[in-house]
Structure 1
């Protein structure tokens, strides 16, 4: 009977609820007042509950701080912390461990993540910020340093994960392992590949290790397998805190290996809290992973697209390993005579060849000589920026002394190399490269084109004949000596304004055109004939200098500011560096038996500047800005190229550039 009556009451209640209509407000004042008081009570209850939760959190933090303060100076605690014995169930150890982690390991981790472009290639650094948790990855119980390079076979088994979160409550996390450098053949680039995804892993301050079986493995682990021919692969581990403060579980989601981590994290509202990574390259053990685990034939790639991490060419683009091996065939060959008496030509550098100066490296001597000319350029900028003069009498003596010292040191370096047994292909490249930079220290265009053209043709001739020809009147000796005496004469009697100088220059031009130019072409013709090569095929190689000289001439003759606003020195230095790169590349090609270089990117500013100036597109201000940018570009490009080439030469030949290594440390390239 009781069950029947209960059933009847329930039936009546259901009928009442289905027919009940909520009273409208504004009709019965008593009802409105009661409803108002009920809502106020609900609001107070909610505020009290929120306040109590905030108070609890504040009390927990206060307790944590007091517990740390109470034991922070305990000798046993400090000894344990210093030796890595942390009991993370106690607040003081959690505090000390977090301090130790943030003091050094966190800085190293962030530095390597950024330097090796894991961030931002994988995640936005602004979203990651400073990771609040320490993620450690261990392979076969060996803890990995972030960014370390391992053998792929070391990660054949599933890694062990340790996540120190520095919060007391247990939260759920998702662990993802990603390969950032999987080759994408169709797009000729790289893409991400998921290797492992495990969700719902519980971690807390006292629970830093968790069995994978406690979580939900959404994607089974596959070992690293960098393909043959691909570059170094970066394998990243990211620990995400799951939604709702780590309380919400992730269930029944599909995860494929070709996902993008950013999109995966955004879709499931995951917050990154810990990161780590290692790197790996292909070896034979990788093929076993393809055959046994992936059930695929091991791929093999050719030249993969370069993972460009800077704006400079690679070392191999400057000088390849195969080119360096040709340095074994190097043999310096020169033919030189001089009109000067033998005692005068040999006077330069007699003391430097003494045993007491054996420590001086030949290249250091060359560089020291060039520094005198650089010092003269600074004097020119300060005292005579328009190159018109007149300058103080001592300035001309400074120019003469600078050229004489440069010539002296330039002659000494070869003697020093032979005396100390340090002759090398690097010495010829260094010496002639400095010579090329030195040619633009004069403001007369005719003399500049005369010196650069003869130097270019001599270098072109040496490339094809293998011999450096220096005739009876050559630049390093006779011409420089004549220039030194001319500077001294200017210092004594003042700047020259004589028709004799024009006549001498005219005779020099005729001698170069009908003498030096013809001899160079004739020697190249004979070398081509002996080697059964076409002489006509070598003539287009001269167009590089024609383009250089034409660009300089057009820009200077149509410029609106170079002469009028005293920017000639800046232009000459810029064009001089460009010429130095052109000639140095030819010398490098000669030493390493590479093809003749027909182009250098440093020509671009000269050609563009000449075109803009010719068509009147420059104002005085924009031309100066373009000239400064061109100077910075060619300077950085030249010295980057020079440093890379010097480093590769030194490494291959087993020598130092600016010092003389002990004889027992020197070696020949094998």
Structure 2
């Protein structure tokens, strides 16, 4: 129930911040960056909470797909915005997804999470598998829809992005991140994902959040996206360690990567907010009082 209440409060505040900004005449690029940056982090946490509530740990492939598809879907939405200049809104979007997840948490709180292990008569499949498959299908539908828009070209010169860069360039950091995650999932000698799924998802989720924030910054500022970023350093070291047959214990290295990625994200957000505030001559989390009419 705590998870459901947390998502409800977050979803409510997320819907109200824009209205409050317009009401106080404080709409700016910092607010957009902060809003979408928080959404990028919450996508990771909400995905982990969802698979925990559904007790999907006995199905590692489904758990992996559910968590990472959520990250990719959110990234593709902003990739779409970077190309077209407009963030897409679908009939079944963020709000509907959050309401569905809240209902799942409420059912788990009232009836107990083991209710999802009940098998559906005649087809002999647990409810949690059906729920995850439905969530996966919805995410894939939204992702494919965004990719189709991307394939059509952007609003820049000769079908480029709004920053007049290649429409395919944002795919590189996310592709590398997914490549490393899939490689570790399949070839880790200690079954790192199977034994520590939450740590695995959160570690790569921090890196995914950082590159998503970079994409949002590129969209807001209409500038080229940073493709080689410190967010990819941890996954790169994990890949090198795996290639040389785990010179360092991969669990300890994953812990170090999670700590570094978390610090890197927080430092980057703080630095970016300070730069935006200095450039625009505004204060973060502060609304200047309106001057009295002459």
Determine the structure 1 residue equivalent to 2:144. 518
**1:412 aligned onto 2:42:** no
* Greater helix content: 2
Distance 1:530 1:433, change over 3 A: closer
Determine the structure 1 residue equivalent to 2:250. 623
* Greater strand content: 1
Q: Which runs of 5+ in 1 are unaligned?
A: 1-396, 666-670
Determine the structure 2 residue equivalent to 1:230. none
Distance 1:575 1:559, change over 3 A: farther
Distance 1:420 1:525, change over 3 A: same
Deviation at 1:456, TM superposition (A): 0.8
Distance 1:545 1:489, change over 3 A: same
**1:643 aligned onto 2:247:** no
Determine the structure 1 residue equivalent to 2:219. 590
**1:487 aligned onto 2:132:** no
Instruction: After superposing the two structures, state which structure 1 stretch, 605-614 or 398-407, moved more.
Output: 605-614
Determine the structure 2 residue equivalent to 1:550. 179
Aligned-partner Cα distance in 2 for 1:573–1:402:
18
For normalisation by structure 2, the TM-score amounts to 0.80
Does structure 2 conserve the Cα–Cα contact (< 8 Å) formed by 1:555 and 1:614?
Answer: no
- Show CA shifts across 1:142-192 (max 9, x none): xxxxxxxxxxxxxxxxxxxxxxxxxxxxxxxxxxxxxxxxxxxxxxxxxxx
Aligned-partner Cα distance in 1 for 2:201–2:129:
22
Aligned-partner Cα distance in 1 for 2:88–2:210:
21
Aligned-partner Cα distance in 1 for 2:147–2:189:
34
Aligned-partner Cα distance in 1 for 2:155–2:98:
34
Deviation at 1:542, TM superposition (A): 1.3
**1:578 aligned onto 2:207:** yes
Does structure 1 conserve the Cα–Cα contact (< 8 Å) formed by 2:66 and 2:135?
Answer: no
- Show CA shifts across 1:608-627 (max 9, x none): 213423653156xx223312
Distance 1:399 1:608, change over 3 A: same
Distance 1:446 1:641, change over 3 A: same
Aligned-partner Cα distance in 2 for 1:550–1:611:
13
Aligned-partner Cα distance in 1 for 2:264–2:205:
13
Distance 1:561 1:505, change over 3 A: closer
Does structure 2 conserve the Cα–Cα contact (< 8 Å) formed by 1:457 and 1:520?
Answer: yes
**1:449 aligned onto 2:68:** yes
Determine the structure 2 residue equivalent to 1:609. 238
Aligned-partner Cα distance in 1 for 2:82–2:156:
15
Does structure 1 conserve the Cα–Cα contact (< 8 Å) formed by 2:70 and 2:139?
Answer: no
Aligned-partner Cα distance in 2 for 1:461–1:564:
33
Does structure 2 conserve the Cα–Cα contact (< 8 Å) formed by 1:555 and 1:611?
Answer: no
Aligned-partner Cα distance in 1 for 2:108–2:191:
28
Deviation at 1:588, TM superposition (A): 0.5
Bigger radius of gyration: 1
Does structure 1 conserve the Cα–Cα contact (< 8 Å) formed by 2:44 and 2:67?
Answer: yes
Distance 1:462 1:564, change over 3 A: closer
Aligned-partner Cα distance in 1 for 2:193–2:144:
34
Does structure 1 conserve the Cα–Cα contact (< 8 Å) formed by 2:83 and 2:160?
Answer: no
Aligned residues: 264
Determine the structure 2 residue equivalent to 1:369. none
Report the 3-state secondary structure (helix = DSSP H, G, I; strand = E; otherwise coil) of the residue aligned with 1:662: coil
**1:560 aligned onto 2:190:** yes
Aligned-partner Cα distance in 2 for 1:529–1:439:
28
Report the 3-state secondary structure (helix = DSSP H, G, I; strand = E; otherwise coil) of the residue aligned with 1:462: helix
Report the 3-state secondary structure (helix = DSSP H, G, I; strand = E; otherwise coil) of the residue aligned with 1:656: coil
Deviation at 1:530, TM superposition (A): 7.2
Deviation at 1:534, TM superposition (A): 5.6
Aligned-partner Cα distance in 1 for 2:284–2:253:
34
Deviation at 1:406, TM superposition (A): 1.2
Distance 1:564 1:583, change over 3 A: closer
**1:600 aligned onto 2:225:** no
Determine the structure 1 residue equivalent to 2:117. 497
Backbone CA RMSD of aligned residues: 2.6
Deviation at 1:471, TM superposition (A): 0.4
**Residues 120-519 of structure 1: pairs in structure 2 closer than 5 A:** 397-441=1-45, 442=48, 443=51, 444-475=63-94, 477-495=95-113, 496-498=116-118, 499-513=126-140, 515-519=141-145
Aligned-partner Cα distance in 2 for 1:541–1:570:
26
- Show CA shifts across 1:194-235 (max 9, x none): xxxxxxxxxxxxxxxxxxxxxxxxxxxxxxxxxxxxxxxxxx
